Structure 1
C-alpha cells in the first residue's frame, strides 16, 4: 500500500494515506476502502509516524486522507502532523471528514496552526441515490448547507443506475457552490455496486475539459493521487 506521494501538477502538495480506527459510518455500499482501518491504535500510530516522516514541505501544502474521517485518526498522529507542519513550514492542510462530523470541524481546526480545507464525500446531490443506493448517510436541505461547512466536496461518477441528468445537476451544483471539487470515477471493486462503462465514456467526452479548471480534480483511477493500491506497506 503506497502511503506517500507528491502531486506536482494541479494544486501541488504532498499526500499522505494514514491509518485510523474504523470508519464511524462504515456503511457505504460502494466502499471497500475501509479495509485499511485498524482497531490496533498503537499499530496505527507506528505506521503513521513512518509515513509522516516522509514529508519534506516541498510545496508547503499537505493533504491527509484515511479510510474514514480525520477525527478518527489517533490523537498522537494528529500531534505528529502538527509537529511536521511546524518543522517543514507547511502553510495549508487538507483533511476529509464524513458529513456527520460537520459540527466538529471548528474544534478540529484549533489543533493546528495553519488553515485547513475540509472536504467531504457527497457523491451525488440526488438524495435517493445517495442514501438509498449508495447508503451514504448524508442528509441536508440544500447545497448551501453543505457549503457552509465544507469548501470542497467529492462526487462519484459512473455507477449503474446513475443518469446523465443526475450528473449534469451534480456538476452544476459543484461549480456554483464550492471552492474546490474532486470527481471520482467509479471502478469495480469487491462490493456489489458496478461501474457503467458507457456512462463513464459519456462523462469523459462531455466533462473531461473540467480538468482544465484549477479548482477541479478528476480521478479517472482511484490511485491517481499516487496513494493506495496493493504495493508494499510503508
Structure 2
C-alpha cells in the first residue's frame, strides 16, 4: 500500500496515509476503509514514523489522512507531526475528522500551532439519505452548521438510491458555504452499497467544469490522491 505522495495540481501539498486506532464510529454503510487500522500502538507508531520520514516540506503544506479521524492517531504520531511541522517549516495542515469531534477541532489547531484545514466526510447534505441509508451518525441540519466547524466537506456521488436533485443541492451547498471541497465518485467495494453508472456519467458531464475548479478536487478513483490501494 502506498502511503506517501505529492499532489502537484490543485492545492499543492504532500500527503501521507497513516495507521490509527479503529474509527470511533466505524458503522458507515459504504465504508470498508476502516480495515486499515490497528490496536498495536507500537506497530502503528513505528509505521507512521517511517511514512512521515519522507515528508520534505517542499510545499509547506501537509495533508494527513487515516482510516477515521485524526483524533484516533496515536499520541506519539501526533507529537511527531507537530515536530515535523516545526522542523520542515510546514505552514498549513489538512486533517480529517468525524462530526462527533467538532468541539475538539480548536484544541488540535492550538496543539499543532499552524492553521489546519479540517475536512469532514459529509457524503451528502440530504439528511435522510445520509443518516437513514449511509448511516453516517452526523445529524447536522445544514451546510451552514457544518461550515461553523469544518473548512472542507467531502461529498460522495454516484450511489444507487441517490438522485440528481440531491447532487445538485450538494454541489450548490459546497459552493455557497465553503472555499474548498472534495467530491468522491463512489467505487464499488466490499459493502452492499452499489455504484450507479448512469448517475456517475450524468455527474461527470454536467459538472465537468469542477475538474478545472481550483477549489474542488474530484476523485474519480479512490486512489486519485496517490495513496491507498
RMSD of the alignment, in Å?
0.6
Instruction: Identify the residue that residue 162 of structure 1 maps to in structure 2.
Output: 162
Cα-to-partner distance string for 1:168-208 (whole Å, 9 max, x where unaligned): 00000000001110000000000010000110000000002
Tell me the secondary structure at the aligned position of residue 5 of structure 1. Answer: strand
Q: CA deviation at 1:108?
A: 1.1
Instruction: Identify the residue that residue 151 of structure 1 maps to in structure 2.
Output: 151
Give, in whole Å, the separation in 2 of the partners of 1:174 and 1:112: 27
Q: Does 1:56 align with 2:56?
A: yes
Tell me the secondary structure at the aligned position of residue 86 of structure 1. Answer: helix
Instruction: Identify the residue that residue 110 of structure 1 maps to in structure 2.
Output: 110
Q: CA deviation at 1:140?
A: 1.3
Cα-to-partner distance string for 1:50-100 (whole Å, 9 max, x where unaligned): 000000111110000000000000111001001111111111000000011
Give, in whole Å, the separation in 2 of the partners of 1:108 and 1:91: 15
Cα-to-partner distance string for 1:127-159 (whole Å, 9 max, x where unaligned): 111011101011112211100000100000000
Give, in whole Å, the separation in 2 of the partners of 1:215 and 1:75: 32
CA contact (8 A) 2:182 2:217 kept: yes
Unaligned runs of 5+ in 2: none
Tell me the secondary structure at the aligned position of residue 187 of structure 1. Answer: coil
Tell me the secondary structure at the aligned position of residue 112 of structure 2. Answer: coil
**Structure 1 runs of 4+ off > 6 angstroms?**
none
Give, in whole Å, the separation in 1 of the partners of 2:53 and 2:203: 39
Give, in whole Å, the separation in 2 of the partners of 1:52 and 1:142: 36
Give, in whole Å, the separation in 2 of the partners of 1:210 and 1:47: 35
Q: CA deviation at 1:113?
A: 1.9
Tell me the secondary structure at the aligned position of residue 156 of structure 1. Answer: strand
Structure 1 segment 110-189 matched on structure 2, within 5 A: 110-189=110-189
Q: Does 1:204 align with 2:204?
A: yes
Instruction: Identify the residue that residue 77 of structure 2 maps to in structure 1.
Output: 77
Give, in whole Å, the separation in 1 of the partners of 2:120 and 2:227: 18
Tell me the secondary structure at the aligned position of residue 111 of structure 2. Answer: coil
Q: Which has the higher contact order (CA 8 A, sep 6+)?
A: 1
If the length of structure 2 is used for normalisation, what is the TM-score? 0.99
Q: Does 1:22 align with 2:33?
A: no
